Every structure is written in structure tokens, then in C-alpha cells.
Amino acid sequence: MGLFLLLGLFAFCVVVGTPVAFALGISAIAAFWFEGLPLMIGFQRIVSGINVFSLMAIPFFIFAGELMFHGGIAIRLVRFASAAVGAVRGGLGIVNVFSSMLFGGISGSAVADISALGSILVPVMKEKGYDADYAVNVTVTSSIAGIIIPPSHNMIIFAIAAGGGISISKLFLAGVVPGVLMCLCLAVAAYVVAVRRGYRAEKFPGWTVLGLSFVGAIPGLFTAVIIVGGVLSGVFTVTESGAFGTIYAFVVTLLVYRSINWETFKVAVRQSVRTTAMVMILIACAGAFAYMLTFYRVPDKTVALLTGITDDPIMILLMINAVLLILGMIMDMAALILICTPIFLPVASNLGMDPLQFGMMLMVNLGLGLCTPPVGACLFVGCAVGKLPIEKAVRTIWPFYLAILVALMMITFVPAISLTLPRLLGA
């Protein structure tokens, strides 16, 4: 009855439109009350959920992403990507994918990726004769590269949800190859669809233009070098690298690119505070909710349920993927990381899957959920930017879904994709 109350009340709150963070907190406190546990313990669990030093890196990453979004870094990355791969058939689609890979690796945010690159590339693609649904679909699906390619604040949330025993620097390393692999799969899909629709290639601008665009993009790209390189080299902690990366992004946008002013700076600060507050409230309430899941032994029961259906590791992993994909369609990503990690990580570990590999599988699954209705934040933002009805985008987005699913299956069943770099460089 207690578990039914916990899950049932949470589902009811989500259905009636209660914010997910408050739904987690309300259902957890109700379960504490039902079991006769002191409510003070519940509130202590809420506070302890955010009393983690590593979480201080999240507001820095978010603020750095906002500064880069408003500070002109995105347009320079687009110019470089266009000069490099724009001459391929359907080149602007591939430019979109690789711009997302570059910008996502700096901002670490899928929504920032869509907002920054979509507002630049979608109108240009329409002007060059690309259909609106193609432009929106490429932008939406490629944006989740920011979730996987480091730095990513979602990886920090995963490390906390996994009990804090996973190295964030190794998580960053583990995300490089899967993120690039997913972008390559999306680039192939973009090329195939472009050929089928008869889109033309752009003219190669010449090596001089390519070199100049690369030089112009270097200051922005160096933000990722500071953040990720500082962590991996041991010079900075994750929090320190986020702070230095934010300072560097501010200096670059203010003094080098000179593309940020007082008004855009205030917008970046306001958006960062709002996003950080949402994430922290969510993490806090999810701490109490996860405590009650453990109290009711949900992870153990999940292991027993899945192994009772089949003892084939492949089928169990496919079932986990299916559940994560379905949940990703209806819930916020950060909340699902906090809820699903303590449930499914023990199952994957019992099958011999490394936590780093499970983290990458989780990120891709839930990232795909961001592109899928009914609660696909990236899909909504992309359609708003492209001025396209959601139903039109969904009808033709399946080749890009298929590309991400191919990458997901490779990440799930080929451990070397996620583990090679951490083993080589993360020792």
C-alpha cells in the first residue's frame, strides 16, 4: 500500500499538471507519513539531496551555456561547420548536425543548442530550398549531442543519483565516442533524406575561408578545452573547471567577439538562475523520493521481475531500453535520471554492464525522449523556432529516430564504445 501510494500519488500529480519536482516531494512526504516515519527525516532527505559539493558545477555550466548562446559563439561554429562539410549533398543538414556536436560540446544543453543554432540555421535552410520539416527534424534530433558530449550537467546528476561513486571525469570521457557516433549516424540519415528529396549541395568556399572560419571559432571551442581538459588533467575539479569556463566564456564574448552587452548579460543571468533553481529543486525532492524507493526495495523487486521474465541479458537490456524510452516520452529528463538510476543501475550491474556504459545508454534513451511527444521539450522548442506544427514534424522525423536507435543499440551492446577512452585516459 505504501508503494502504491508513493507511485500513485506521483502519477496523479503529474497527470493533473503539478510540476514534476513538487510531485516527487509531495508523494515522498505522503509515503513518509503513511509509514509512520518522522517527517523531519523526509525534509532532511530533501535538504541532503542538494548538499553535495559536485552540484555547484551545475550553475556554472548552465551560466556558461547561456553566455555562449547570447554571445555570438554559435554563429562562428556554424560558419566553420558550413565551410568544412557544406559542400556535401544536402550539406546544410550535415552542417546542422556537426554544429550541434561542436556547440553541444561547449554548452552541454540540448535546449540551448536548439535555441542558438535553430534560430540561425532553420531560416537559412528554408531560404536555400530545404523543407521546413527536414530543417526542424535535423535540428531537434542533433541537439541531444549536448547531453552526451562533455561537459554535461546531466552527467553530474547521474553521478549523484548513482551514489557518488562514479568519477565525473570518467563520465565525461565515456561520452565522447558515443556522442560522436550518434552524430555520425544522424549525418548519414540527413544525407540519405537529402538525396531522396533532391536537395542540392553548397559550393565549397575554398581553403582560405575554411581556415579563417576555423580561426574565428577557436576562442569559442577553447571553452570546452578549459572545462573538459581542466577536469581530465587534474588541474581543476569539476566545480573549478565550470567556474573558470564561465569566466573564460564571459571574457571571450565581451572582449574578443564583442557580441554581448548589458541587456543580453542580464537575460543570460536571469535564464541561468531560473534553470538552476528548477534543477536544484528537482534534485532535492528526488532525493526523498529515491529514499522511499529504496525503503520499499524497488530496485531488488525490479531485478527479480526482469530476471523472472527472462534470464537472457540481451532481452533484459532491451526491456530496460524500452521502459526508458517510454518514460522519456512523458517525463522530464533530470527527474528520470534521478528516479531510474537507482532502479535500473543495479539490474545492469548484475548483468556485468559497467556503470559508465549504463550512464551513456541512459543519456541517449532519455535524450531521445526529449525529441518525442507528448513531453518532448526539444521537439516543442524546435517546432516553435521553425514555425512548424508538431504533427508535421513527427510524421517525417522517423529516419532520424532510427539513426539514434542504431547508435543506442551499439552503445548498449558494444562496451568498448563507452569504455575505451576512460580506460586509456582516465586511470
pLDDT digits (tens, 9 = 90+) for 333-344: 777 888 888 889
The three cell numbers locating residue 134: 527536414
Q: How many helices (H) and strands (E) does the chain have?
A: 24, 0
The percent of residues above 90 in pLDDT, for the chain, comes to 15
Contact 239, 56 (CB under 8 A): yes
CA distances in angstroms from 180 to 59, 218, 237, 369, listed in the order given: 25, 19, 25, 19
> Where does the pLDDT of residue 30 fall: very low under 50, low under 70, confident under 90, or very high at 90 and above?
very high
User: Which pLDDT score, from 0 to 100, does residue 113 have?
Assistant: 66
Q: How far is Cα 186 from Cα 408, in angstroms, rounded to an integer?
A: 12
- Asked if residue 73 has pLDDT above 80, the reply is no
Residue 424, pLDDT above cutoff 80: yes
Q: Is residue 176 part of a domain?
A: yes
**pLDDT > 70? residue 5:** yes
Residue 130 has pLDDT above 60, yes or no: yes
Fill in the DSSP letter of residue 203. P
Distances (CA, A) of 125 to 86, 96, 221: 12, 9, 24
pLDDT of residue 104: 65
Among candidates 21, 10, 54, 13, which has minimal Cα distance to 279? 21
Does the structure show a pLDDT above 90 at 117?
no
Grade residue 217 by pLDDT with cuts at 50, 70 and 90: confident
Is the pLDDT at 159 greater than 60, yes or no? yes
In a domain, 12, yes or no: no
Q: Is residue 44 part of a domain?
A: no
**pLDDT score for 108:** 56
* Residue 376 zone, left/alpha/beta (φ > 0; ψ -120 to 50; rest): beta
* Terminal Cα distance for the chain, rounded: 46
Query: pLDDT higher for 116 or 132?
Result: 132
Phi-psi region of 129 (alpha: psi -120 to 50; beta: other; left: phi over 0): left
pLDDT: which is higher, 178 or 289: 178
Nearest to 354 by CA among 425, 424, 416, 427: 416
Q: Has residue 233 been placed in a domain?
A: yes
What does the alpha-carbon distance between residue 413 and residue 417 come to, in Å, rounded to a whole number?
A: 9
76 pLDDT more than 70: yes
Query: Average pLDDT in the 238-267 region?
Result: 85
Q: What is the mean pLDDT of residues 252-259?
A: 85
**pLDDT of 56 over the 90 cut:** no
Confidence band of 181 (pLDDT split at 50, 70, 90): very high
65 or 63: which leads in pLDDT? 63
Q: What is the mean pLDDT of residues 150-157?
A: 82
Q: Does 27 map to a domain? A: no
Range of the domain at 222: 53-425
Residue 23 lies in a domain: no
pLDDT digits 0-9 by tens, 135-145 = 889 988 888 88
Q: Report, as an integer, the average pLDDT of 171-190.
A: 91
Beta carbons of 157 and 283 less than 8 angstroms apart = yes
- Residue 296: the pLDDT is 85
Alpha-carbon distance of 9 to 7, in angstroms, equals 6
Give the model's confidence band at 87: pLDDT under 50 very low, under 70 low, under 90 confident, else very high.
Answer: confident
36 in a structural domain: no
Given a cut of 80, whether residue 103 has pLDDT beyond it is: no
d(CA 176, CA 352): 22
pTM of the complete model:
0.80
* φ, ψ of residue 131 in degrees (nearest 5): -65, 150
Sole residue written with cell 536571469: 270
Determine the pLDDT at residue 110.
66
Average pLDDT, the chain: 83
Domain membership of residue 308 (yes or no) is: yes
Single-letter code of the amino acid located at 54: S
Q: Which of 298, 367, 359 is nearest to 328 (CA)?
A: 367
Q: State residue 364's pLDDT score.
A: 92
| Tally of domains in the chain | 1
More confident residue, 18 or 228: 18
